[in-house]
């Protein structure tokens, strides 16, 4: 691991954090209103994913034409193709948790410096769920 | 220029999405890594593997959000529900993202952008159950 790669990660993380904060994804009120099209629907968050993909999809197309990234020897990308039960159940559970509290992993972690006890509890519970899953699936 | 459809929320969403996309492009172009938060965060639980770039990314994530709210003079958005519900929601999000190997960023942004069938399916599934759950909860409130 080169220092340059760690600096890239730090800068990327910052851009991601600013992006999340600006986008509204860190506000559970906006998120739960987005996930409730039957109520007073706030559709603005659809534009977050659309806007992000409009940057990443064309860029990835050109990046993957190269045989390696600029600072490393290979791309670390999963080439799994199978749609299995784990993927479906996992995706379904993640959506349920997101719908319950209005926070997905990025926004929850980016909220830590707000020092709201519920956020800290959410992030610890999330790590607990991850570790429990890792332990049981081994 | 706040019109009915093209309001401030949408302009912010587009701007935020652009920054998130740019972050993911930098990670892939330079480091060859997926900017998937649940996976990056989980690696922090394995300190013996020295997850240095993951730690740097998470520190940046916290710092970026902090700088945004600091310099725009805004408070962090408030949570809506109790700490008991935070345990339930957080735990389920942790289990789900681990089982399906990704969340909104890894599957929803990066995976869809490389046309991964697994990510497209995962995104459709978590959007559906997310909408179902949040809609149901809005009835209980």
| B3 in reach of chain A (CB within 8 A) | no
Domain assignment present for residue B130? The answer is yes
- Domain extent, residue B27, equals 8-140
Nearest to A122 by CA among A28, A17, A20, A46: A28
pLDDT for residue B89 is more than 70 = yes
| Residue partners of A66: CB distance under 8 A and separation at least 6 | none
- Considering the domain architecture, whether residues A114 and A127 belong to the same structural domain is answered as yes
Q: Report d(CA B74, CA B72) in Å as an integer.
A: 5
Q: How many domains does chain B have?
A: 1
| B49 in reach of chain A (CB within 8 A) | no
- Considering the domain architecture, whether residues A124 and A70 belong to the same structural domain is answered as no
- Considering the domain architecture, whether residues A73 and A85 belong to the same structural domain is answered as no
- The residue-averaged pLDDT of A58-75 equals 97
- Considering the domain architecture, whether residues A8 and A71 belong to the same structural domain is answered as yes
Backbone angles phi, psi at A76, to 5 degrees: -100, 80
Q: How many domains does chain A have?
A: 2
- Domain extent, residue A32, equals 1-77
The distance of A25 to chain B (nearest Cα, Å) reads: 8
Per residue in B52-82, pLDDT tens? Answer: 999 999 999 999 999 999 999 999 999 999 9
Of A58, A77, A96, which residue constitutes the final position of a domain?
Answer: A77
A102 — pLDDT class (breaks 50, 70, 90): very high
Across the interface, whether the CB atoms of A109 and B37 are under 8 A apart is answered yes
Domain assignment present for residue B2? The answer is no
- Considering the domain architecture, whether residues A6 and A71 belong to the same structural domain is answered as yes
- Considering the domain architecture, whether residues A104 and A48 belong to the same structural domain is answered as no
Of A43, A77, A111, which residue constitutes the final position of a domain?
Answer: A77
Task: Considering only the C-alpha atoms of chain B, give the largest distance between any 2 of them, rounded to a whole number of Å.
Answer: 53
pLDDT for residue B1 is more than 60 = no
Q: Is-contact A45 A24, C-beta < 8 A?
A: yes
* Contact residues, B window 111-140, toward A, CB-based 8 Å cutoff: 112-114, 116-118, 121-123, 125-138
When scoring B85, B104, B127 by the number of chain A Cβ atoms within 10 A, the one with the most, hence best to mutate, is B104
């Amino acid at each position: 691991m080169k220092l340059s790669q760690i600096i890239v990660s730090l800068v990327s993380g910052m851009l991601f954090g600013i992006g999340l904060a600006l986008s509204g994804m860190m506000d559970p009120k906006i998120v739960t209103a987005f996930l409730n099209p039957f109520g007073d629907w706030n559709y603005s968050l659809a534009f977050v994913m659309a806007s992000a993909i409009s940057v990443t999809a064309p860029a990835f197309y050109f990046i993957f034409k190269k045989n390696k990234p600029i600072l490393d020897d290979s791309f670390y990308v999963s080439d799994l193709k199978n749609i299995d039960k784990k993927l479906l159940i996992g995706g379904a559970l993640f959506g349920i948790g997101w719908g319950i509290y209005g926070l997905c992993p990025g926004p929850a972690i980016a909220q830590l410096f707000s020092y709201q006890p519920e956020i800290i509890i959410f992030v610890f519970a999330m790590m607990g769920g991850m570790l429990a899953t890792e332990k049981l699936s081994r | 220029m706040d019109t009915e459809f093209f309001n401030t929320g949408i302009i912010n969403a587009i701007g935020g999405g652009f920054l998130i996309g740019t972050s993911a492009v930098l990670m892939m172009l330079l480091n060859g890594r997926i900017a998937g938060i649940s996976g990056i965060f989980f690696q922090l639980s394995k300190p013996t593997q020295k997850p240095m770039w993951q730690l740097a990314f998470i520190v940046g994530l916290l710092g970026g959000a902090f700088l945004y709210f600091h310099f725009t003079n805004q408070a962090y958005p408030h949570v809506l529900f109790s700490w008991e519900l935070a345990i339930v929601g957080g735990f389920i999000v942790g289990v789900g993202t681990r089982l399906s190997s990704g969340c909104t960023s890894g599957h929803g942004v990066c995976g869809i952008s490389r046309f991964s069938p697994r990510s497209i399916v995962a995104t459709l599934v978590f959007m559906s159950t997310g909408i179902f759950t949040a809609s149901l909860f809005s009835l209980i409130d």
